[in-house]
A and B are shown apart, each in its own frame.
Chain A
């Protein structure tokens, strides 16, 4: 039902302006500078034009149909503008305006009036008090704070404006593709579960991200979330973990039922992947968006040094993942290439040889083998930094030409890129995740390596982050397979 809201052919901005520090300016300039693929109508009775577009005194003066209206003018103007919407047959509205239930009793009464009108006239209203919406696929960037991630498969529902912005900005800076975004604001009319239902059926959405503060209709949320999880993963961060349970509880059960413990149950029941922090929310979404799902919990580890391998194996076991023994066939293959003292076990320690070819071969042997469902690659990515630092010292001491140093750096970057390209190919061939952890990432290094294939490489900073993502992907896989066997 709200499909048209996210895919408008034409938009109007009530309160559009060129004056800095106004929401009407932010929204209008973001839509225009973001190169929206549709018609744009500014509504403002006080100026003749906005950013070169002719303004209209009211919505009713626009000669053509309008699919979606953004309202940025003060709350006292709202009811009048909604009447104009009704008269013009506009049902999709994004209410940026604040000053409603979040401010007190008077605002709450006005919000109730809006709800009543929306219900009787079938208006779809986002907000009020929302930071806006995004649909990258029609290049509609209509948020008040401007950040424009590229198109992709992740769709976001944020019950907080600044957290929503943080997620979008992170996606932009890490070059992660986003499909839709909505800041749900006060959820006077459209609720978190309505957006979830829409994302469930939206073919452009592959992974759903939610930042949750509160849910009004828990029962319907649970039903929709359950059905959605069977189709695509939902990753959620919940605020209010430490809130204590209802003090009026009369039973022992009541005393144990802090709202977060109930929410944790909801998460298990609906298959939602729970993130414990904003950082985790982001790394999980990158993982679900980039990797094939692991079809089992047997992990093969390839490492550039012993210590990291052991730590990663510990992390795996603690999260319910298995570290099977290294199959004899792989031992024999690697015997041919490694010095005789190598460990001959899983984790496979490539005894400090930062050689991309040996890593490529070892990873392929592991990923191709039925003994493993996931391969974690530690330390070859980022190892270039050590070679470069050594070269840099020689350069600084005047014993190396700058051009030789530059060529050396370029060739290392090429080798690293080729290695990551190969990993994405291997993932596509074997349909198993290959997860990399970087030894040392420099500032400009990428987090996501996307060479246009079906899967992408995520380069994690730490083994624990990588293992956490693998474990949660495996849990999700389990949730879905257990239930699809029953419902199939």
Chain B
């Protein structure tokens, strides 16, 4: 973890790329979607085959924000041809990239959550859990705790959401694996409590695949 952060700091990055952010999250115990960073079209095709179709391709760089708006995210690519075309489109925009992220496609069930962290001026690093996806900021259904937290705290955070019913069995989907979410929250809290160079983290969305929470995007912002 230290290595990823040190390299980014040495390069004076403001943030980690999605690939590096997810690496860090995975090491902290947060379930993330499987992905590879392809440096060429051939690599992208190889990785897609390794992951199994369909896949997702995303332009990857530490300076890239608003990926979707820039047309840098190509979802549910079902064939080699789709992957090749998507690769060309992403790399053809003239935006400098570290590479192209090839990510497994996971079927979600419309339930989306968010994990995150901030540095509060009074209380220091804090973790957040809440309702994720496109309605995150409109509904503001979130819960904070000062890092580090215990697993009791993590369960209480989930229980605090107004929309906590979404974590139970919902419209034919099974109850979310809360233990996995609790471990993710505890892991995230330990990460931000240990690495003081991390300013903020957004893990949004966390989708629910079967009953398993999986982060399909992540952003680590570094302290300036």
From known contacts A253-B114, A268-B145, infer whether A218 and B122 are also in contact, taking CB-CB under 8 Å. yes
Whether the Cβ atoms of A265 and B144 lie closer than 8 Å is yes
Partner of A252, one of B143, B146, B204: B204
**Bitwise interface map of A from 444 to 488 toward B, beta carbon under 8 Å scored 1, else 0:** 000000000000000000000000000000000000001100100
**Bitwise interface map of A from 415 to 442 toward B, beta carbon under 8 Å scored 1, else 0:** 0000000000000000000000000000
**A253-277 contacts to B (CB < 8 Å):** 253-257, 259, 261-262, 264-266, 268-269
Per the bound structure, the CA–CA distance linking A254 and B221 in Å amounts to 11
- Tell yes or no: B35 within 8 A of A by CB: no
Partner of A250, one of B124, B143, B146, B221: B221
- Tell yes or no: A214 within 8 A of B by CB: yes
Closest to B115 in A: A253
Whether the Cβ atoms of A219 and B128 lie closer than 8 Å is no
From known contacts A219-B146, A222-B146, A482-B152, infer whether A252 and B120 are also in contact, taking CB-CB under 8 Å. no
In the bound complex, residues from chain A placing their C-beta under 8 Å from that of B140 are 256
In the bound complex, residues from chain A placing their C-beta under 8 Å from that of B150 are 486
Whether the Cβ atoms of A256 and B146 lie closer than 8 Å is no
Whether the Cβ atoms of A252 and B123 lie closer than 8 Å is no
**B98-145 contacts to A (CB < 8 Å):** 114, 116-118, 120-124, 126, 128, 130, 136-137, 140, 142-145
- Tell yes or no: A401 within 8 A of B by CB: no
Total A-B residue pairs with C-beta atoms closer than 8 Å? 94
Closest to B141 in A: A256
Whether the Cβ atoms of A264 and B221 lie closer than 8 Å is no
**B72-112 contacts to A (CB < 8 Å):** none
Per the bound structure, the CA–CA distance linking A391 and B185 in Å amounts to 66
Per the bound structure, the CA–CA distance linking A369 and B202 in Å amounts to 51
- Tell yes or no: A387 within 8 A of B by CB: no
Q: List 14 A-B contacts (CB under 8 A).
A: A214-B122, A219-B124, A250-B199, A251-B116, A251-B202, A253-B116, A255-B137, A256-B116, A262-B118, A266-B123, A268-B143, A268-B153, A269-B149, A482-B152
Which 6 A-B residue pairings sit nearest by Cβ, starting from the closest? A253-B116, A218-B123, A265-B144, A251-B200, A218-B122, A251-B202
New A-B contacts (7) at CB < 8 Å, excluding given A265-B145, A482-B152: A216-B122, A251-B116, A252-B137, A257-B144, A268-B143, A268-B157, A269-B153
